Amino acid sequence: MADKVIYAMYDDDDVLKDGAKKLVSKGVKVTEVFSPFPIHGIDPIIGIENTRLGIMAFIYGLTGLTLATLGMRYFMIVDWPMNIGGKPNFSYLENILSFVPISFEFTVLCAAHGMAITYFLRNKTLPGMPAQNPDPRTTDDRFVIELRTSENSQFTAKELEAMIKDTGIVELDQKDVA
């Protein structure tokens, strides 16, 4: 059976949310939602789990802190214990106050950039990537639910359409995909 993609378009985020709720409660699988801004509360309805990027940011931050500590300990204590006013740097712990600012800055640097890079890679949003939204208006004022007939094989295309039409849509679009 040829797979068909159905796009149900709404002009209001709350209408889409209620529509998605209705569809999901009838057992329809919603593949994707495209919207011009984040719709709060849509994720649990269509079964999107919360991102774990925050955990990654924490790990990147710890990495940065460790690197900064190891680096400064090597530069300032091990390799060349700088002698200031007859007080050479012999212990990291006793000199730690001077190292606080850079430890902090480097932690933030690694956490922020590590997370940003991971975010771009996971989203596959990279310079020059082609746009994948089904309709150019989804970045303006259209809110779109994407369904696939192959993922909803318990319903016929007609039934799906009828259910969608019941949710306050403004437009319906279909596309065959190989």
Per CB under 8 A, does 14 bind another protein?
yes
Residues 66-95 that bind another protein (CB under 8 A): 71-72, 75-76, 79-80, 82, 84, 95
Site string (157-176) toward another protein, x via CB under 8 A: -----------x--------
Residue 152 CB, nearest distance to another protein (Å)?
18
* Closer residue to another protein in complex, CB, 43/157: 43
* Closer residue to another protein in complex, CB, 90/120: 120
Three-state helix/strand/coil letters over the chain:
CCEEEEEEEECCHHHHHHHHHHHHHCCCCEEEEECCCCCCCHHHHHCCCCCCHHHHHHHHHHHHHHHHHHHHHHHHHHHCCCEECCEECCCCHHHHHHHHHHHHHHHHHHHHHHHHHHHHHHHCCCCCCCCCCCCHHHHCCCEEEEEECHHHCCCCHHHHHHHHHCCCCCEEEEEEEC
Question: Residues interacting with another protein, by CB under 8 A?
Answer: 11-12, 14-15, 18, 22, 32-40, 42-43, 46, 48, 50-51, 53-54, 57, 61, 71-72, 75-76, 79-80, 82, 84, 95, 98-99, 101-102, 104-106, 108-109, 111-113, 115-116, 119-120, 122-133, 136-141, 168
